[in-house]
C-alpha cells in the first residue's frame, strides 16, 4: 500500500541523504527511548500470502515527520517494510506487513523503525528500540 509523501518531506529526505541542504543538521541515527515504540501480537504463520498487523506510537518533536518500518525474519533478513508520514497518518496507528509463508519460516520476528522529523531545513533521525513477536505454524 503506497502512502503519499509531501514533496517537502521527500526533498528533505533525499537532500539530507545526499548532503544537499547547506547548514542542515542531521543527528546520528541511534536507538533512543522516549521517541516511541512499535509492536505486534504473537500469531500464526498462515499458508499463502497475508498481511500481519503491527502498531506504532511515536513522539516526534515536530508535526512534520516520516516513519519507516522494517520487518526482519527469524534469520535476520529484511522481509517487508512500510513508510508513513505526517500528511496521511496519526502518531498512534497501525499498518500491515505483507509476506508469504513459503518464503519464510516460523519463529521470532523483529520490527525496526526509523523516525525522522523536520524543523525548517534541519532534520533529526532516531531509531526506535526494536520490538519482537512470534509466528508459529498452525
What pLDDT does residue 47 have?
94
A 10 A CB-CB count for 58 gives: 22
pLDDT for 30-75, tens place per residue? 455 699 999 999 999 999 999 999 999 999 999 999 999 999 999 9
A 10 A CB-CB count for 26 gives: 14
Q: Which domain holds residue 95?
A: 7-136
CATH number at residue 131: 2.60.40.1930
What pLDDT does residue 62 have?
95
Grid cell of 91 as nine digits: 502518531
Residue 1 lies in a domain: no
CB-based contact 32:128 (threshold 8 Å): yes
Task: Say if residue 79's pLDDT is above 70.
Answer: yes
Residue 2 lies in a domain: no
Question: Which conformational region is residue 36 in: left (phi greater than 0), alpha (psi within -120 to 50 degrees), or beta?
Answer: left
Residue 66 lies in a domain: yes
CB-based contact 109:72 (threshold 8 Å): yes
Residue 115 lies in a domain: yes
pTM for the model: 0.76
Number of domains comprising the chain: 1
Amino acid at each position: 500500500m503506497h502512502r503519499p509523501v509531501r514533496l517537502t518531506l521527500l526533498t528533505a529526505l533525499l537532500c539530507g541523504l545526499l548532503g544537499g541542504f547547506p547548514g542542515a543538521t542531521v543527528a546520528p541515527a541511534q536507538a533512543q527511548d522516549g521517541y516511541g515504540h512499535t509492536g505486534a501480537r504473537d500469531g500464526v504463520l498462515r499458508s499463502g500470502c497475508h498481511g500481519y498487523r503491527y502498531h506504532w506510537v511515536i513522539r516526534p518533536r515536530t508535526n512534520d515527520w516520516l516513519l519507516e518500518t522494517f520487518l526482519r525474519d527469524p534469520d535476520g533478513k529484511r522481509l517487508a517494510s512500510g513508510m508513513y508520514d505526517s500528511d496521511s497518518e496519526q502518531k498512534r496507528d497501525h499498518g500491515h506487513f505483507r509476506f508469504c509463508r513459503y518464503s519464510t519460516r516460523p519463529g521470532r520476528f523483529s520490527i525496526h523503525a526509523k523516525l525522522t522529523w523536520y524543523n525548517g531545513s534541519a532534520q533529526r533521525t532516531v531509531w526506535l528500540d526494536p520490538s519482537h513477536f512470534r509466528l508459529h505454524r498452525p
